[in-house]
Chain A
Amino acid sequence: MDHSKQIQDIASKLFAENKIDYFVGYRQNAIDDSQVPYLISDPAEIPRLVFTDRSVFNLANYLKPEHTRRKRVGLVVKGCDSRALNLMLTESQVKRENVYIIGICCEGVLNEKGEKAQNCIECVMPDAVVYDEMIGTPTGKREYIVNADIKELATIALEKRADYFEDIFSNCIRCNACRHSCPLCYCAKCCIDQETSTLYHGANTSSGAMHALMTWSLHLAGRCVDCRNCEKACPSHLPLHLLHKQNESVIYENFQQHLAGMEKDDRGAFYKYSLSDPDDFIL
């Protein structure tokens, strides 16, 4: 999968027609195979834009107010990224007319070891769901898979499950890279940063990390699109997807096979209250 040329052409066209103020893509990292998000406002930098199976980072993250400051932007999105972008549009975080979306029909990206990333193996929608221009051949929606690690999580007895997570979260350093790398964590002031609050204190205790990460995962329940930006950003390499995929599988099962961000104006499972919603999975 190498769409660098097409992306460069589109970016040149957009700058030439004055449709965008800046463009967000990827460029090659100087020292290894990995790629870095690349924000350009000068057309002279277009030749550095690339897109291959190393284009991992979810660029929808750069639509948050601190990056865009309300300018018109051209953006490259893969399937999962476009779902996040769809939710940002639905939740009025981004104005549709301010983004020019280049959708990719993604063939899966690679992880650090050069293997296909786990979320790409489990991917339900590799094609961009919202776009102005599409690159590649759409392959359509795939079957939803619950991976072995989530099934295994369900077999751990409830009272032991807390210990299991406590053990994982004891490695958390509370840097909040997970939150900052998540396109859907756009709150101007996050509840876990309320430093005057004694409920969400900022200390680095394992109970503090547990509290913060559990709250975070619940705020993303029914919204997480499984791009795994958080997990890739985590300096402690915590398996954060366990929280999100567990929520996702419960929601998929109980709320009419709901998957976040797949359709335009779909506000998510928790916004559509119905008396017939099941509640037997709630502890």
Chain B
Amino acid sequence: MSVFIVETDKAGLQKFYEEIIGKFETYAPVEKFDKYDYKKVSNLSECNPDSPIETTMSLKPLFFPKTAKIMKFQEDSSGTTLSETDEDPLAGSRVILGVKHCDARGLQVLDQVYNWDYIDTDYQKRRINTVIVSTRCDKAGNQCFCTSLDYDVENSDAHDVRIVNGLDGKIYIQGVTEKGEKLIKSSSIQQPASDGAKDELSKHYKAFDASFRLKMNYTEVNAKLQKLFDSPEFETVSSNCISCNTCAFICPTCHCFKISDEKIKDTGVRYKSYDSCNNGYFTLMAGGHNPRPVKYRRWRQRSLHKFVYYKERFGMNLCVGCGHCAISCPVNISIFDVVNQVSKIMQ
């Protein structure tokens, strides 16, 4: 990991942001209907890269869009002709500002599945051409638990550029990857950080870690859940779930999708868009059999996929502890509570 760090202050950081927005296609948290989401911005005043409020949607839609055209088709007397869509996944390079640890980690987790047996070239292209700049995560939100999971938040390499608060109004901008280092070098902020920077960063992390309301013993939860497929607790924890798809759609790592056609007369487009295992029809088979017709089976799948199966297959936990799902859930179900309650490790 690169240790390229520069030092600046609040005004310098604003300038850093402005320069990026001036030079690159930039996405940042923008407020609409009292909530934040990543949107394309052309001016720093439109957005708030330092927003302490979590964005409602994760970073996922910028890499795995809500809806993508996968092909076009035309039917005539000779049969069906298929053609490529005219959509370019990402023309040039872009920068995303104001990204939290959890969101950035979400992409690392998604990389595993997108680089697995089938390589999703559109996703790869978006990933390579994007530079991710962190937000200054100072204090944990009510539903955050990223520091309790299986990744090292302090030395995370999920961002390309990390921005961290130091003491006395100092702000450190750290290039984590080559892409990030290049971005910092192209800016006018060039004052190298003083020798004490590393200590300050670790002190900052300790204070950040201490601000978490939610802590879990990940190793224990993971070990216990492996044996709890038949636990009756899944029925209790899912009793008030209304089976909407919100948690999966806004999750940084949920990656299930469905295929649907929009057809007018003989021509049409085939779309790929989000789907969710909490949806009652998700596992409905052509013959009419549905292995997960009831809520608790769907919740079992969701919890175990997040905390057991993905870890077994790819060595990473599928849940990144962002708390987006708990914040947006209409009935306030939190995956943190669910896995703790099922594994009977109450905090």
Partners in one complex: yes
Residues of chain A whose beta carbon lies under 8 Å from any beta carbon of chain B: 29-32, 34, 36-39, 57, 61-62, 66-67, 171, 173-177, 179-181, 189, 193, 195, 198, 201-205, 208, 229, 232-233, 235-239
Please tell me if B244 contacts chain A, counting CB pairs below 8 Å: yes
A171 with B32, Cβ < 8 A, contacts A203-B67, A235-B56 known: yes
Query: In the bound complex, what is the Cα–Cα distance between A177 and B56 (angstroms)?
Result: 14
Which B residues are in CB contact (< 8 Å) with A61? Answer: 242
Q: Are A202 and B33 in contact (CB under 8 A)?
A: no
Residue of A nearest to B61 (CB): A173
For the complex with contacts A61-B242, A175-B274, A237-B34, 8 further pairs of A-B residues with Cβ separation under 8 Å are: A36-B240, A57-B331, A171-B32, A175-B249, A176-B244, A198-B261, A204-B67, A235-B250
* Nearest CB in chain A: distance from B31 CB, A: 11
Q: Are B262 and A208 in contact (CB under 8 A)?
A: yes
Q: What mask results when residues 257 to 270 of chain B are scored 1 for a CB within 8 Å of chain A, else 0?
A: 01011110000100
Q: What mask results when residues 316 to 340 of chain B are scored 1 for a CB within 8 Å of chain A, else 0?
A: 0000000000001011110001000
Which B residues are in CB contact (< 8 Å) with A181? Answer: 242, 244, 330
Q: For residues 77 through 112 of chain B, which have their beta carbon under 8 Å from a beta carbon of chain A?
A: none
Q: Are A237 and B249 in contact (CB under 8 A)?
A: no
Which A residues are in CB contact (< 8 Å) with B258? Answer: 195, 202
Query: In the bound complex, what is the Cα–Cα distance between A204 and B271 (angstroms)?
Result: 8
The 4 A-B residue pairs with the shortest CB-CB distance in the complex, in nearest-first order:
A203-B271, A204-B67, A233-B330, A180-B244
Please tell me if B35 contacts chain A, counting CB pairs below 8 Å: yes
For this complex, into which size category does the number of interface residues on chain B fall? Answer: 35 or more
Q: Are A175 and B245 in contact (CB under 8 A)?
A: yes
Query: In the bound complex, what is the Cα–Cα distance between A74 and B249 (angstroms)?
Result: 33
Please tell me if B301 contacts chain A, counting CB pairs below 8 Å: no
Q: Are B273 and A202 in contact (CB under 8 A)?
A: yes
Query: In the bound complex, what is the Cα–Cα distance between A8 and B113 (angstroms)?
Result: 49
Q: For residues 1 through 47 of chain B, which have their beta carbon under 8 Å from a beta carbon of chain A?
A: 32-35, 37
| Residue among B213, B248, B262, B268 with max Cβ neighbours from chain A (10 Å) | B262
Which A residues are in CB contact (< 8 Å) with B242? Answer: 61, 177, 180-181, 233
* Nearest CB in chain A: distance from B215 CB, A: 14
Q: Are A31 and B240 in contact (CB under 8 A)?
A: no
8 Å CB contact of A205 from B32, B56, B67: B67
Q: Are A31 and B331 in contact (CB under 8 A)?
A: no
Q: Are B295 and A66 in contact (CB under 8 A)?
A: yes
Query: In the bound complex, what is the Cα–Cα distance between A67 and B332 (angstroms)?
Result: 17
Please tell me if B231 contacts chain A, counting CB pairs below 8 Å: no
Q: Are B66 and A173 in contact (CB under 8 A)?
A: yes
A177 with B34, Cβ < 8 A, contacts A57-B330, A201-B261, A201-B262 known: no
| Residue among B34, B56, B271, B331 with max Cβ neighbours from chain A (10 Å) | B331
* Nearest CB in chain A: distance from B300 CB, A: 16
Which B residues are in CB contact (< 8 Å) with A67? Answer: 239
Which A residues are in CB contact (< 8 Å) with B250? Answer: 173, 175, 235
Query: In the bound complex, what is the Cα–Cα distance between A83 and B32 (angstroms)?
Result: 32
Query: In the bound complex, what is the Cα–Cα distance between A151 and B276 (angstroms)?
Result: 38
Which B residues are in CB contact (< 8 Å) with A176? Answer: 244-245
8 Å CB contact of B142 from A31, A36, A174, A237: A31
Please tell me if B243 contacts chain A, counting CB pairs below 8 Å: yes
Q: Are B330 and A177 in contact (CB under 8 A)?
A: yes
Please tell me if B246 contacts chain A, counting CB pairs below 8 Å: yes
Q: Are B240 and A62 in contact (CB under 8 A)?
A: yes
Q: Can you list 24 A-B contacts with CB-CB less than 8 angstroms, sorted by A residue number?
A: A32-B142, A37-B240, A37-B331, A66-B243, A66-B295, A173-B249, A174-B249, A175-B248, A175-B250, A177-B244, A179-B244, A180-B242, A181-B242, A195-B258, A198-B261, A202-B275, A203-B260, A203-B271, A204-B273, A204-B274, A235-B56, A235-B57, A236-B56, A239-B33
Q: Are B35 and A237 in contact (CB under 8 A)?
A: yes
Query: In the bound complex, what is the Cα–Cα distance between A4 and B243 (angstroms)?
Result: 27
Query: In the bound complex, what is the Cα–Cα distance between A195 and B260 (angstroms)?
Result: 6
Query: In the bound complex, what is the Cα–Cα distance between A89 and B67 (angstroms)?
Result: 38
8 Å CB contact of A201 from B142, B245, B260: B260
8 Å CB contact of B268 from A30, A198, A232: A198
Query: In the bound complex, what is the Cα–Cα distance between A202 and B258 (angstroms)?
Result: 8
